Chains A and B, each alone.
Chain A
Amino acid sequence: MRRSRALLAGAATAALMFTAACTTDTPTETAPEGTETTAEETAEAEGSDDSGANSDWFVQADFDRELAQRDIAPEGPADQPWLQAIEPEFVDTSEFASEGGDKVLCFSNASVSNPWRVTGWITMQQQVEVLEAEGVIGEFRVSDAADDDNKQISDIQAFVEAGDCDAIIVSPSTTATLTPAVEAACESGKPVIVFDRGVNTDCMVTFIHPIGGYAYGADGAEFLTENLDEGSTVLALRILPGVDVLENRWAAADKIFSESGLEVVGQEFTGGDAAQIKDIVTQYLQRGPVDGIWMDAGDGSVAAVEAFEDAGQPYPVFMGEDEMSFLRKWQDTEMTAIGAVYSNFQWRTPILAAQMIWNGEEVPSEWVLPQDPIEADELDAYLEENADMPSLHYAKFGGEDLPGYPEAWTDR
């Protein structure tokens, strides 16, 4: 009896090893070739073929919509941008309405692995404290996936199975990969709120996000185009390849640059590492002038500016983010710059959305928050307002009216 089982296992092993033996002779290139074509097929199937080097990520319709949304006045209270929405299509949430407080709010967080997320996470916790004090929220249950999609899928599954979440908030780590998990969460009958990055489904009650990556990239690219003469050189600094929100930013910028007279001398991935950024900029400066810097995220932007200082070169026209270190450097150097914004205050919105849903109030099915870059004339105001904030804080964090302000953000 033991033997026969061992035999069976042996046969299976043999089969496995046969597979190995047979396939090892296959040149490695064959399979990847196959995959490459299918990747393109997929891209085409999504109807995203367009001009430009970045056809994988460029969708003309999305680009057009986001650029247009920048000029649309949002609905909602003027002093609470986190409650504003652009062209909202409200959905009825009465099915989720329920009496009583002390709700269990579950939040599956992708990670707090970068300063932008850390800032937002503090804001979110402060907002939760307000609602806890009001008795709306009884328990705020959080799973942090540490940027691991697989773990986040499990986290969401665990929330669904625990069964006692009154609402599930998801900040997805990657758009495509979390779709099945979010769909499963929707099917559980609990209200699901997705914010920041999206998922490929519309089953959730609301999807909260600022206008988006195209707008972000375009803000900077347009600013550079306006402030630089034709033929000027622009260096694009990017963090990672393959992250959709970041790819959209570059796709928009690439599109705008290709239609302007600017010359993009290079696009480099830096991992957000200041040392690498500084080194890369320095090397470009050795080879020739760089008139403008475009960045897909503000991390390490100060290092890029310093590279110009250390090389004794004039400051470029610069696109940074609303990160304090950059804003301060901007003020010190008085360079021509823009601070693009990917609205950090969106971290408050899901909590408030959950409260609205429990109340049965209608919410936008796609809750598009405003996303306005910081321009030179607003710079001083933001700096003054955030004077005590640490250098990796984000100016448009939108938590000034919360009771924990400012200690929660200054004393991290």
Chain B
Amino acid sequence: MSTSAATARAERPRLLERITASSSWTVYALLIVVFVGILVMNPSFGEPMSLMAFVKKAAPLIILAIGQYFVIVSGEFDLSVGSLVGAQVVIAARLMDGEDSMTWPVMGIMLLFGLAVGLVNGLVTTLLKVPSFITTLGMMLVLYGAIRLWTGGAPTGALTEGFRQWGRGGLFGSPGEFQVPYALLIVVVLGVLAALLMRRPYGRTLMATGNNDVAAAFSGAPVWWVRTRAFLLSGLMATVAAVLIGGYAGVTAQVGQGLEFVAITAVVLGGVVLGGGRGSVVAAMAGALTLEALFTLFNQLSLPSTIRPAVQGVIIIAAVAYAAVPRRPRRRATAEPPSSAEPSSPVDPPSRPKEPAAT
């Protein structure tokens, strides 16, 4: 036991090393490939107007991916976000009913509703010990039914312009010309906040909880509340996404349907591990962006719409499989400390990551 002090204090690995060492680098590579593909197919996509239009479309999914990331990294699932987005848009339309003065109060109500749904999801999962897959599946059914029960089956009312500007409008310039979309600002702000949050004590506790909730509990983390907060964040993000989607495209009966699977796919594409404890929020956002870019690429390739799901399926499987394959040697390399550093304590490389370093 000789060398130590210096090694323990060793500085963080360099950025490049960190990117390639994590499993999420595939998503960045894929993102670049897809963007290059789009630009080759349609150079005008690079024009500011086109890019901003893309951002407006992609923003809600990116935000949903942030919310889903929190839940997944804590070791859970949130299948209710699609229904929640739909419910929120319908609530907004029905309560505002085109009254401009109602915009802000209703957005407040939406916020509370989103948090309430997250709270219920979280508490049922953590306190009643229902697997989150089932909790949120049930919540999905409840929201789907309740919102239609309330509106008699189809959305009623109308969204106000003040509400719609968030997803549709932007700063500088007038509609129909180049604008910096609010959606872009919101995504950037939320993305930065999320990345910061993951570096904050809460983020680290969340990650540790996803990795080993017993250890987190023994360290004084209120595990139920840590996870519930993840669901609250997911509900919050779904609300923001609902504001953006509602703003972008208005109310339809179908809004939000199936978004939960797209969001989970996006997060997994970003290298976040289902089951918790691994992955970065920025990569999850990149996953969402990649997925949206992929949809755009399909469009630019004039791929028949019917075959797109098939191509999407192949790409997702391939990307996730590819991210899974080269990990093993890479991990081993980091697992094995260089012999010079610590002659006194050669660590047996774990035969399987679960039970390392016995003796």
Do chains A and B directly touch (beta carbons under 8 Å) in the complex?
Answer: yes
Q: A127 at the A/B interface (Cβ < 8 Å)? A: no
Q: A272 at the A/B interface (Cβ < 8 Å)? A: yes
Interface residue from A118, A282, A299 paired with B153 (Cβ < 8 Å): A118
> Roughly how many angstroms separate A303 CA and B155 CA in the complex, as a whole number?
15
Known: A286-B42, A286-B44, A287-B44. A311 touches B49 (CB 8 A): yes
Q: A99 at the A/B interface (Cβ < 8 Å)? A: no
Q: A257 at the A/B interface (Cβ < 8 Å)? A: no
B47: nearest residue on chain A (CB-CB)? A286
Query: For residue A121, which residues in chain B have a CB less than 8 angstroms away from its CB?
Result: 153
Interface residue from B57, B156, B254, B295 paired with A390 (Cβ < 8 Å): B156
Interface residue from B44, B157, B299 paired with A391 (Cβ < 8 Å): B157
Q: A273 at the A/B interface (Cβ < 8 Å)? A: yes
A390 touches B53 (CB 8 A): no
B154 touches A118 (CB 8 A): yes
Which stretch in A75-83, A173-181, A201-209, A263-271 binds the other chain? A263-271
Q: A241 at the A/B interface (Cβ < 8 Å)? A: yes
Q: Count chain B residues whose beta carbon lies closer than 8 angstroms to a beta carbon of A.
A: 39
Q: List B residues 230-270 near A (Cβ within 8 Å).
A: 245, 248-255, 257
> Roughly how many angstroms separate A11 CA and B232 CA in the complex, as a whole number?
53
Cβ contacts A101-123/B at 8 Å (1 or 0 each): 00000000000111101110110
A265: nearest residue on chain B (CB-CB)? B302
B253 touches A306 (CB 8 A): no
B42: nearest residue on chain A (CB-CB)? A287
Interface residue from B45, B156, B248 paired with A275 (Cβ < 8 Å): B248
Q: A368 at the A/B interface (Cβ < 8 Å)? A: no
Q: List A residues 259-304 near B (Cβ within 8 Å).
A: 266-269, 271-275, 277-280, 282-283, 286-287, 299-300, 302-303
Interface residue from A273, A312, A412 paired with B255 (Cβ < 8 Å): A273
B249 touches A303 (CB 8 A): yes
CB A142 to nearest CB in B, in angstroms, measures 13
> Roughly how many angstroms separate A412 CA and B157 CA in the complex, as a whole number?
10
Query: For residue A300, which residues in chain B have a CB less than 8 angstroms away from its CB?
Result: 249-250, 252, 254
A112 touches B305 (CB 8 A): no
A299 touches B249 (CB 8 A): no
B175 touches A274 (CB 8 A): no
Q: B176 at the A/B interface (Cβ < 8 Å)? A: yes
Query: For residue A279, which residues in chain B have a CB less than 8 angstroms away from its CB?
Result: 57, 295-296
Q: A310 at the A/B interface (Cβ < 8 Å)? A: yes
A302 touches B250 (CB 8 A): yes
CB A244 to nearest CB in B, in angstroms, measures 16
Residue among B45, B53, B255 with most chain A CB within 10 A: B53
Q: List A residues 155-214 near B (Cβ within 8 Å).
A: none
> Roughly how many angstroms separate A112 CA and B153 CA in the complex, as a whole number?
7
A269 touches B158 (CB 8 A): no
Q: B152 at the A/B interface (Cβ < 8 Å)? A: yes
Known: A286-B50, A309-B175. A392 touches B253 (CB 8 A): yes
Q: B300 at the A/B interface (Cβ < 8 Å)? A: yes
> Roughly how many angstroms separate A117 CA and B50 CA in the complex, as a whole number?
37
B250 touches A119 (CB 8 A): no
Residue among B47, B152, B257 with most chain A CB within 10 A: B152
A275 touches B50 (CB 8 A): no
B53 touches A286 (CB 8 A): yes
Q: List A residues 12-54 near B (Cβ within 8 Å).
A: none
Query: For residue B17, which residues in chain A have a CB less than 8 angstroms away from its CB?
Result: none
B254 touches A280 (CB 8 A): no
> Roughly how many angstroms separate A271 CA and B254 CA in the complex, as a whole number?
8
A286 touches B156 (CB 8 A): no
Residue among B49, B93, B156 with most chain A CB within 10 A: B156
> Roughly how many angstroms separate A278 CA and B60 CA in the complex, as a whole number?
14
> Roughly how many angstroms separate A303 CA and B176 CA in the complex, as a whole number?
14
Known: A266-B302, A280-B299, A299-B254. A391 touches B156 (CB 8 A): yes
> Roughly how many angstroms separate A349 CA and B222 CA in the complex, as a whole number?
61
Known pairs A113-B253, A268-B305 / 5 extra A-B pairs, C-beta < 8 Å: A241-B306, A272-B254, A274-B252, A275-B255, A392-B156
Q: B residues engaging A (CB < 8 A)?
A: 42, 44-45, 47, 49-50, 53, 57, 60, 93, 151-158, 168, 175-177, 245, 248-255, 257, 295-296, 299-300, 302, 305-306
The 8 closest A-B pairs by CB, nearest first: A412-B152, A312-B176, A274-B249, A115-B154, A118-B153, A390-B156, A118-B154, A275-B249
- 24 pairs of residues in contact across A and B, judged by CB atoms under 8 Å: A117-B153, A118-B153, A272-B254, A273-B257, A274-B248, A274-B249, A275-B255, A278-B57, A282-B57, A286-B44, A299-B254, A303-B249, A303-B250, A303-B252, A306-B250, A311-B176, A390-B156, A390-B157, A390-B158, A391-B93, A391-B156, A392-B154, A392-B155, A392-B253
